[in-house]
């Protein structure tokens, strides 16, 4: 897949409309089109990274910032009182269907364990 074929790269570039929850120089966050909870937002780095397996030592700052931004976004969406789940699916066997690294913010209802 090329970056020009990646739906999340195209959303980050503003080529595909999305209901944004956050946007800055590092990432965009948008509401999932197929939500699995009342709040289901994806946090996507602007730089194309296919999965966690495509990160390395040089990506420590990126990964840390994505988690910190996810926490701030969750708070802004009203999830501070009851909490939220942060999920990163890595590869198809774990449920990754778009091969651009993304974090799922899930909340707004009780979340069972194990998840699936």
Q: Which residues are catalytic?
A: 102
What CA–CA distance (Å, rounded) separates 54 from 114? 26
**CA dihedral over 98, 99, 104, 110, signed as positive or negative:** positive
Backbone angles phi, psi at 79, to 5 degrees: -100, 5
3-state secondary structure (DSSP) of residue 105? strand
């Amino acid at each position: 897949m090329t970056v020009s074929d990646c739906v999340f790269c195209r959303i980050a570039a503003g080529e595909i409309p999305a209901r944004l929850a956050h946007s800055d120089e590092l990432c965009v966050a948008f509401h999932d089109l197929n939500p699995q909870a009342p709040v289901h937002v994806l946090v996507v780095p602007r730089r194309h990274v296919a999965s966690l397996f495509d990160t390395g030592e040089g990506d420590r700052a990126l990964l840390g910032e994505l988690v910190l931004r996810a926490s701030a976004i969750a708070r802004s969406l009203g999830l501070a009182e009851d909490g939220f789940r942060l999920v990163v699916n890595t590869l198809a066997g774990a449920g990754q269907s778009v091969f651009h690294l993304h974090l799922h913010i899930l909340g707004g209802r009780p979340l069972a364990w194990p998840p699936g």
